[in-house]
Chains A and B, each alone.
Chain A
């Protein structure tokens, strides 16, 4: 029997601008189901995984991600995450996750004070999360960053706990995997580019895997993140329930 398509929900805040890219990567590149979830909605509509996309939700007012966390949909995302649901925050999505307290630490202004938009190399530090099983430990991925506030910071106690629980997922590195200050685009502590929560169901990363998914754009390393999530969904999901089947047939591509 063919595996059913994984259902991705892409949250759209006012000011999100990578929402369609994430939708496109899941739906068109990887052939899964995807739908948008408007920030005012109060229902995740039975999705298997939630994507908080990049952009400038609420104009980055106050602090990046600070206002988005109070959106009606975020209350559902918090509940979903507490129940073990898969949530990935990319760029602004990562900022929202730390503001919402789903991930520890904070993303400060880049140490250069500049918006950085370029391809970087990421070393996979933990290849056994549900977001990275399609990678090998120590593998180096080419994925672009595009942000002004990606400088990961946390107090020494938090950093120690991240180490102890193996919660650092990606680090900025040279193409050969060595960690250097030059490979760090924003001043992040310990070159941290992505972390996961202790339970292992919520990940945030500053680089954009959705922008490195379609071969037409040059790189496909970002697919590995989405393929890992799809693999996780296929190996853990129960038989589709009737209402879910209904969802699958009523979902309209935009």
Chain B
């Protein structure tokens, strides 16, 4: 059994109004020097597979077909044996 820790982020070319709003809130808190806020999603899931390679393939597929929309999002993940 493997655990995939998946991060889904907006592609760099996509504006992130939510990140911008958080950035402005930080500025109004007086927290200067913080910029480039980008919001994303974090997903954890278990993969039943014999090898890490297989688990990675399954996770890629899961991300491509459902978890991320390639028009607007990129994804990365880490895989650990459980």
Residues in A lying within 8 Å of B, measured CB to CB: 62-63, 66, 70, 98-99, 105-106, 108-113, 153-155, 187
CB distance from B26 to the nearest CB of A (A): 16
Tell me the complex Cα distance, A99–B66, Å. 9
In contact, A112 and B69 (Cβ under 8 angstroms): no
Cross-chain contact of A111 among B15, B67, B69 (Cβ < 8 A): B15
Cβ-neighbour of B17 out of A62, A70, A109, A155 (below 8 A):
A109
Q: Do B67 and A113 touch across chains, with their CB atoms under 8 A apart?
A: no
Cα distance, A187 to B66, chains bound together (Å): 25
Q: Are B71 and A105 in contact (CB under 8 A)?
A: yes
| A197 CB, min distance to chain B CBs, angstroms | 15
Q: Give the shortest distance, in Å, between A242 (CB) and chain B (any CB).
A: 41
Whole-angstrom CA separation of A85 from B45 in the bound complex: 38
Closest 5 CB pairs of A and B: A106-B71, A106-B72, A113-B17, A111-B17, A113-B21
B18 on interface, CB distance cutoff 8 Å: yes
Besides A106-B71, A154-B71, 11 other A-B contacts (C-beta < 8 A): A62-B66, A63-B69, A66-B69, A106-B69, A108-B14, A108-B72, A110-B17, A111-B15, A153-B72, A155-B13, A155-B71
A113 lies within 8 A of B18 (CB): yes
Contacts of A108 in B (CB 8 A): 14-15, 72
- Number of A-B contacts defined by CB within 8 Å: 32
Q: Which residues on B are within 8 Å of A, measured CB to CB?
A: 13-15, 17-18, 21, 66-67, 69, 71-72
Which among B13, B18, B69 is the interface contact of A99 at CB below 8 angstroms? B69
With CB as the reference atom, state the residue of chain B lying closest to A114.
B17
Minimum Cβ distance to chain A for residue B10 (Å): 9
Contacts of A105 in B (CB 8 A): 71
Q: In the complex, which residues of chain B have a beta carbon less than 8 angstroms from the beta carbon of A99?
A: 69
Contact for A112 among B17, B66, B67, B72, CB less than 8 A: B17
List the A residue with the shortest CB-CB distance to B10: A108
Closest residue on chain A to residue B70 by CB atoms: A106
In the bound complex, how far is the Cα of B15 from the Cα of A187, in angstroms? 10
Could you list 11 examples of A-B contacts with CB < 8 Å? A62-B67, A66-B66, A99-B69, A105-B71, A106-B71, A106-B72, A109-B17, A113-B17, A155-B71, A187-B15, A187-B17
B63 to chain A, nearest CB (A): 12
Q: Which residues of A contact B67 (CB under 8 A)?
A: 62
Docked Cα-Cα span, A66 to B15, in Å, equals: 20
Q: Which residues of chain A are near B18, meaning CB under 8 Å? A: 109, 113
Q: Which residues of A contact B66 (CB under 8 A)?
A: 62, 66, 70
CA distance A66 to B73 in the complex (A): 13
Point out the residues of chain B lying under 8 angstroms from A63, CB to CB. 69
Closest Cβ of chain A to B45, distance in Å, is 13
**Which residues of B sit under 8 angstroms from A155, Cβ to Cβ?**
13, 71
Distance, CA A98 to CA B70, complexed state (A): 12
Instruction: Give the distance to chain A from B73, nearest Cβ to Cβ, in Å.
Output: 8
- For A156, give the chain B residue with the smallest CB separation: B13
